[in-house]
Amino acid sequence: MSEGAVKKEEKPRKFQAIRGTRDLLPPETALWSRVEQTAHEVFATFGYGEIRPPIFEATELFARGVGGDTDIVSKEMYTFVDRSEKLEPDPSIGSMNVFFQKVRELFKSGEIPTDEQDEAALKIAEDQWKKVDDLLEGGLKSESAGTEIYKLVLFYDALRLGTRVSLRPEATASVCRAYIEHNMQQLPQPVKLYYMGPMFRRERPQKGRYRQFYQIGAEILGGPDAPAIDAELIEMLMTFFDKCGLQGTELSINSIGHAADNCRRDYVAKLKAKLEKVKDKLGADSQRRIETNPLRVLDSKLEHEQPIIATLPRIADNLCDDCKTHYAAVKHELELRGVIYRENWRLVRGLDYYMRTTFEITAQGLGSQNAVCGGGRYDGLVELLGGPPTKGIGFAIGEDRLILSLQESGKAPVAQGRDVYIAWMGENARATAVRAAKTLRNAGFSVELPPVEQKFGKALGQADKLGAKYALILGDNEVTSGEWTLKTLADGTQRKVSEQQLLDSLQKM
Ligand code: ATP
Ligand code: MG
């Protein structure tokens, strides 16, 4: 083999970002920063504080907080076992006894959370180990020794030897967990929190749908469930979108009744009965949902289901008096605040603890993934997670989609240029150039200082490519005479400035 061929084969693998994830790059990231800055500012004016929960949490938290029946929990979470560090990572055959004893202890102390399945799995692995141990004593002469050892490896691998954790698919459950963990019910109520950051769902990637995506969200926990709270939260959201310059936003609202009380339960029963009658005409997903989550059928986007859905009973006609009053008051409060809304009786959130107000905002330029925000009231959630009975309402904005929509409507920023490019030549000029760069940067100008000497022609070409506004030309002549040349690149005009005049001249230009 020739040397070239060897080299070719050894060429290192080229890596690419994992499917459904992406790099956010300049200049787009400037738009992301601007949007996030706007969120910080607008939310602060409404009295919200920022919370930064961890990116992974116990799987159990999401299973409860998001709901085991949802697509998110049943198939979209990134979950792994965070192995207890009290266990040897690779126990040898010789130390298996000690290993299993240790596992038992950790199960008992709760260090490794367990359920019946784990107990059973451990028992199977231990029994298998005893079998293999006997075989070892016999010098592994039995014909089945290989198979038994293989089985031991399989059973050992299947053991869950640590905490099951998941990358967060959303943050509401985390915020509620934090509210409980830090006894925030002792603070003045309600507690108003917002967050921003990446979420992870194993969905089919497409425009506006990624496996790592970003949300900006807010939650109000505690206090009363006064309709003004719902309305002010939505007002804040619309103010934020407005300040971002988002075009063509449409707010849809609905009330889905009271979960604990009669109206929602009665409605779901009515809906289910009706759905059973038209079951044959529905697609497989909707058929399945009749059992698991009938409200979600209303969500269906399938063309052929639309005429059927139009005939289904509507929750607005089935609300109890309390819920009806609450919904009417939310609408009134929105009107007071000049927030324009549309009612959409099909807008639901599929989870039991969502109740009363639900809302969604769509924006333009996004095709079928046009929802930029979803939210709703969830008075039962904190209690479901082991906290005191607590009112709650919140929303989550899809930041990727928000950015896409802004880009589609021409709000994307252009590449960031430089204010000053310093073209220098010669050892004397180098020291002067470094000094000038420092002075200019301290005053807030963005400065490009080439690390190695370049001919002036090349330097000016580079300055042009970077979109610099001015070039500061420093050669031996300039340094000796103390008269520097400042060139405006747009029109090619030049002027002479002294070191003392430099800042002043630039600030006036
Ligand atoms: P969709 O119906 O679009 O799947 P969802 O009901 O799953 O949305 P929520 O869980 O309410 O969405 O999340 C709130 C917002 O987060 C959505 O309105 C959307 O803008 C954004 N979002 C959700 N999933 C993704 C994703 N995989 N990629 C990008 N943005 C997403
Ligand atoms: Mg989804």
Assign 3-class secondary structure to 85-151. Answer: CCCCCCCCHHHHHHHHHHHHHHHHHCCCCCCHHHHHHHHHHHHHHHHHHHHHHCCCCCCCHHHHHHH
**pLDDT band at residue 261 using 50, 70 and 90 as cut-offs:** low
pLDDT in tens, 361-401: 999 999 888 999 999 999 989 999 999 999 999 999 999 99
At 217, give phi and psi (nearest 5°): -140, 165
Q: What ligand 1 atom has the least distance to the C-alpha of 217?
A: 14
Higher pLDDT, 350 or 141: 141
Closest ligand by atom to 351 CA: 1
In this prediction, residue 352 carries a pLDDT of 67
**312 pLDDT more than 80:** yes
- Residues in the chain, total: 509
In this prediction, residue 353 carries a pLDDT of 75
Q: What ligand 1 atom has the least distance to the C-alpha of 375?
A: 11
User: CA 52 from chain center: how many Å?
Assistant: 12
Compute the average pLDDT of residues 98-123. 86
Closest residue CA from atom 2 of ligand 1:
371
Residue 198 Cβ inside 6 Å of ligand 1? The answer reads no
Pick the most confident of 109-123, 223-237, 253-267: 223-237
Write down the mean pLDDT value for the chain.
91
Taking alpha carbons only, the member of 471, 451, 452, 453 closest to residue 461 is 471
- 148 Rama class: left (phi>0) / alpha (psi -120 to 50) / beta: alpha
Higher pLDDT, 265 or 494: 494
Higher pLDDT, 475 or 160: 475
Closest ligand by atom to 198 CA: 1
Residue 199 Cβ inside 6 Å of ligand 1? The answer reads no
The answer to whether 229 and 235 have CB atoms below 8 angstroms apart is: no
- DSSP state, residue 15: P
**pLDDT band at residue 460 using 50, 70 and 90 as cut-offs:** very high
Residue 190 Cβ inside 6 Å of ligand 1? The answer reads no
**pLDDT band at residue 133 using 50, 70 and 90 as cut-offs:** confident
The answer to whether 257 and 320 have CB atoms below 8 angstroms apart is: yes
**321 pLDDT more than 70:** yes
pLDDT in tens, 327-354: 999 999 999 999 999 999 999 876 667 8
In this prediction, residue 6 carries a pLDDT of 52
In this prediction, residue 509 carries a pLDDT of 83
Mutate-to-test residue for ligand 1 from 19, 76, 401, 405, highest number of ligand atoms within 8 A of CB: 401
**pLDDT band at residue 132 using 50, 70 and 90 as cut-offs:** confident
In this prediction, residue 135 carries a pLDDT of 84
Closest ligand by atom to 66 CA: 1
The answer to whether 444 and 504 have CB atoms below 8 angstroms apart is: no
Question: What is residue 41's three-state secondary structure?
Answer: helix
Q: Is the peptide bond before 26 cis (omega within 30 degrees of 0)?
A: no
In this prediction, residue 1 carries a pLDDT of 47
**10 pLDDT more than 80:** no
Give the lowest-confidence range in 37-51, 77-91, 215-229, 495-509.
77-91
Mutate-to-test residue for ligand 1 from 24, 213, 250, 404, highest number of ligand atoms within 8 A of CB: 213
In this prediction, residue 459 carries a pLDDT of 95
**260 pLDDT more than 80:** no
In this prediction, residue 7 carries a pLDDT of 55
Tokens of 248: 């063509």
Residue 280 CA, ligand 2 centroid: distance in Å: 26
Compute the average pLDDT of residues 133-153. 82
Compute the average pLDDT of residues 51-78. 90
Closest ligand by atom to 169 CA: 1
Compute the average pLDDT of residues 489-500. 94
Residue 398 CA, ligand 1 centroid: distance in Å: 6
Give the lowest-confidence range in 14-28, 190-204, 241-255, 309-323.
309-323
Higher pLDDT, 148 or 2: 148
Give the lowest-confidence range in 15-24, 304-313, 434-443.
304-313
At 336, give phi and psi (nearest 5°): -55, -35
- 110 Rama class: left (phi>0) / alpha (psi -120 to 50) / beta: left
Higher pLDDT, 95 or 169: 169
Compute the average pLDDT of residues 425-448. 95
In this prediction, residue 375 carries a pLDDT of 96
Percent of the chain exceeding pLDDT 70 equals 97
